[in-house]
Structure 1
Amino acid sequence: MQGTNLSSLKRHPALIPLYIFVGAGMAGAFFYTLRLAFKNPDVTWNRVTNPEPQKEYAEKQYKFYSPVRDYSTYRAPVPKFDDEN
């Protein structure tokens, strides 16, 4: 297939921006997934030391971007969950 190795890519320089933007998109998706895995309050990696990670974010902004609300002055009631069913 044309453009898959360096010598054929030199003959088809129009493919270089395609590889750059696809690579940047893949890197962005990968790092955003990592950010969600480590920063999202719904995810816990160690239940022994942190059984309820959502309590850490009771008054913090964890959204990536929020144009509507200033979370430094916003105090929403935190729901209380019971483990008993």
Structure 2
Amino acid sequence: MQGMQGISLSSLKKHPALIPLYVCLGAGAVMAFGYTLRLAVKNPDVTWNRVTNPEPQQEYAEKQYKFYSPVRDYSTYRAPVPKYQD
């Protein structure tokens, strides 16, 4: 029994039209992984160490978090930061 065509390197050489499909699929998987990794590392809602940093949202009290806004210039805008108490 023969496997699916285009899966092995030798059968991919017989069907070169599948190469762009594999390149686009690989690029999409890498970008999805990179975006998920960025959200896990850079997002202020995620904390990896609650002992040393119990309130990670306080790190962004004076930082600009919004990446792009066509309406407002956030470089000079400072919104009041809510104070959360238990």
- For the aligned pair, the TM-score class normalised by the smaller chain equals 0.7 to 0.9
For structure 1, list consecutive stretches of 5 or more residues without a partner in the other structure: none
Of structures 1 and 2, the one scoring higher in RCO (CA 8 A, sep 6+) is: 1
Query: What is the aligned-residue identity percentage?
Result: 78
Distance 2:77 2:37 in 1: 27
1:78 correspondence with 2:75 = no
Give per-residue Cα distances to partners, 1:5-24, cap 9 Å, x unaligned: 10011011011001001100
Q: How many residues are treated as equivalent by the alignment?
A: 82
For structure 2, list consecutive stretches of 5 or more residues without a partner in the other structure: none
Q: Which residue number in structure 2 is paired with residue 44 of structure 1?
A: 47
Task: Tell me which stretches of 4 or more aligned residues in structure 1 moved more than 4 Å.
Answer: none
Q: Which residue number in structure 2 is paired with residue 59 of structure 1?
A: 62
Q: Which residue number in structure 2 is paired with residue 14 of structure 1?
A: 17
Amino acid at match of 1:35: R
Amino acid at match of 1:66: Y
Q: CA RMSD in A?
A: 1.3
* TM norm structure 1: 0.87
Look at both structures and tell me which one has the larger radius of gyration over its CA atoms: 2
Q: Which residue number in structure 1 is paired with residue 33 of structure 2?
A: 30
* TM norm structure 2: 0.86
- Aligned residue for 1:36, secondary structure, equals helix
